[in-house]
Amino acid sequence: MFKTLLKSVREYKVASILCPLVMIGEAVMEILIPFMMTYIVGQFERLAKGEIAEINVSGIALCAALMIACAVFALLCGVWGGKLAAKASCGFAHNLRQDMYDNLQKYSFSNIDNYSTSGLITRITTDVTNVQNAYQMAIRMLVRAPVLFIASIVMTLFIEPFMALIFGGAALILGIVVAFCMVRVAPHFKMMFKKYDGLNAVVQENLTAIRVVKSYVREDSEIEKMKRATGEVYKYSVKAERILTIMMPCVNLVFFAVNIVILTLGANMEIGNISGNVSPSQLQTLIQYSAQILSGVMMVAMCLNFISLSKGSMERICEVLDEKATISNPEGAITQIADGTVDFENVDFAYSEKSDKNVLSGINLHIAAGETVGIIGATGSGKSSLVSLIPRLYDVSGGIVKVGGVDVKKYDLDALRNKVAMVLQKNVLFSGSVAENLRWGDESATDEEVRLAARQACAEEFIDNLPGGFNYDLGQGGVNVSGGQKQRLCIARALLKKPKVIIFDDSTSAVDTKTDALIRESLKKHAPETTKIIIAQRISSVCDADKIIVMDEGKIVGSGNHEQLIATNDIYREIYESQLKGEAEHE
């Protein structure tokens, strides 16, 4: 897990290595200051006892100067260490988010099906922030704290070995408390982040479907749903924080107990009740070292707290980074597609390897280049699954799909998908102008080519009527245009790719029958060599196709033109008669 995550440090390695070294320098300075203080206080102590006639002013001045120098150096190290930690952790988080996003772009549809949208958003935002905080604490404190602890123990051994045993025992008690808290708190944090996914899902769903929520007056229901989601996050975060609150009182208890023991033993040593040789100046130094020892333990506890908090986040991030795309480019990939011929040879397909039932079974189909093929069938008959195999959005479970006479698995993915355009059921547009959205089909397209594609999709007229025409801002998700206009823009975007094969996955459902007919007529005229595959619910959208495929329960149950299917295929005839009856009743 750590190996996977640390790959994202990259150009911030220098800052990540320098930061602990600088923090060690700060810790060493903090250790030296109490030791030099002992000499200064000891001079006045010895003068009071009559052991010396006068204090060593030059020695005290030198010690004071060294103490100031150490304090300034510690300050500089602390500031520099903070800057290095911020640079390294923020850079690490930046790379981590970018690496996750880059890997997501390589995923096939089957990879993406393993995650929810809200879960991926949580991983890229909240989870990365948790890991960033843990990383910053680790490189800044996880080295400094042990150095502070060990060095303080060593300095205590020089003053009074017995006292070092007391500090070691106190540190052991705190270590046990910290370990107990970490073990108990980890499961609660893990569950809390899972509940974050649910929380994000509620917010995303509500905002995406806000028009439906308002039209059905379901605001109160959605508010209650949000309360439940936030309540789940609250419940597990409270359970975790309740355990973590034990640590600070325990540290304070041990710290004050150690001080009492040190003062008691030191006083008794001073008056001779017990053996030992601890002067008041050394006693003062021991108290300072006790604070540093216990603060070192507390710093480690805080670091472990952040690491424990982020462990679940680390695992979730690694899942995304370690996931390998199920579809990738083969060696020696073919980049040229001869024509728009499409062949299915004994194709079987299931969305999951563990599935007991195939979505498609025994598909055999030949589509000639330039041919217009309609695909019709009941909902769930496998129409969209069938066409998703052509641009290799999914891989077949069995059999072969060919484009241009070559197995699609042998093509370079970019080359294949640039020549097999899909206009999906759900019309998706992006923030930006009309022209910017259309140029998703071809970034280098000229203004005239963009306009031609819009004309072929019967979109030019309404675009020209928009304020600013092709420069009109569509808003987020294309909210500023209607459903039918969205569909025509998506068709124009696909046509701009100049594909060998173009697939319409029920993509004219939101346009009227007249516009639908105009689009099909335009495609025949302007793209005669392009293979056109049209999935439709309306028979009027496919009745003039060269060939119509009828599907039922994942199988091809009929093939032919409109007249042949009316005469020979019961399913097609039933669909036709039901739609004809519906139109007659409407009239």
Rounded CA gap, 488 and 182, in Å?
A: 57
* E strand or H helix at 219: helix 219-244
pLDDT-derived band at 272, boundaries 50, 70, 90: low
**Collapsed DSSP state (helix, strand, coil) of residue 391:** coil
* E strand or H helix at 571: helix 570-586
Tens of pLDDT, residues 310-339: 887 888 899 899 988 888 888 888 989 988
Rounded CA gap, 65 and 39, in Å?
A: 13
Rounded CA gap, 143 and 139, in Å?
A: 7
**Count, residues in the chain:** 587
Tens of pLDDT, residues 44-76: 777 766 667 677 788 888 888 998 999 999 999
**CATH homologous superfamily of domain 342-426+500-586?**
P-loop containing nucleotide triphosphate hydrolases (3.40.50.300)
Rounded CA gap, 142 and 95, in Å?
A: 22
Rounded CA gap, 520 and 522, in Å?
A: 5
Q: What is the dihedral of CA 542, 547, 550, 551, to 10 degrees?
A: -110
For every residue of 450-514, DSSP letters joined together read: HHHHHHHTT-HHHHHTSTTGGG-B--GGGTTS-HHHHHHHHHHHHHTT--SEEEEESTTTTS-HH
* E strand or H helix at 401: strand 398-403
pLDDT-derived band at 442, boundaries 50, 70, 90: confident
For the chain, domain boundaries: 2-322, 342-426+500-586
- 582: phi > 0 → left, psi -120 to 50 → alpha, else beta; which? alpha
Sign, Cα dihedral of 29, 30, 36, 40: positive
Rounded CA gap, 367 and 344, in Å?
A: 9
Predicted pLDDT at 80: 94
Tell me, rounded to whole angstroms, the distance of Cα 14 from its chain centroid: 26
pLDDT-derived band at 275, boundaries 50, 70, 90: low
CA distances from 462 to 303, 448, 470, 472, 473 (A): 60, 17, 10, 11, 14
The DSSP code for 11 is G
For domain 2-322, say whether CATH 1.20.1560.10 is its number.
Answer: yes
Global confidence as pTM: 0.74
Tokens of 329: 């480019």
Tens of pLDDT, residues 142-179: 888 788 878 877 887 777 777 778 877 877 887 788 77
Count of Cβ atoms closer than 10 Å to residue 69 Cβ:
12
Predicted pLDDT at 587: 45
**Collapsed DSSP state (helix, strand, coil) of residue 54:** coil
Q: Which amino acid is at 484?
A: G
Rounded CA gap, 487 and 506, in Å?
A: 10
- Furthest-apart CA pair in the chain: how many Å? 126
Predicted pLDDT at 457: 85
Q: Which amino acid is at 293?
A: I
Average per-residue pLDDT in the chain?
Answer: 84
Query: What is the 3 state secondary structure string of 483-496?
Result: HHHHHHHHHHHHHC
Tens of pLDDT, residues 458-501: 888 888 888 888 898 887 777 788 878 888 888 888 888 888 99
